[in-house]
Amino acid sequence: MSEVDGERESRAGSGERRKLPLRRTLLAVVWSFFGVRKAKDLERDVSELKPLHVVIAGVLVAALFVGVLFVLVQWVIRSGIAA
pLDDT for the residue 71: 97
Model pTM above 0.75: no
How high does pLDDT run on average in the chain? 80
Phi, psi of 25, rounded to the nearest 5 degrees: -65, -45
Kindly report, residue by residue over 5-38, the tens digit of the pLDDT. Answer: 444 444 444 444 456 688 899 999 998 888 888 8
Total domains in the chain come to 1
Which domain range does residue 43 map to? 3-79
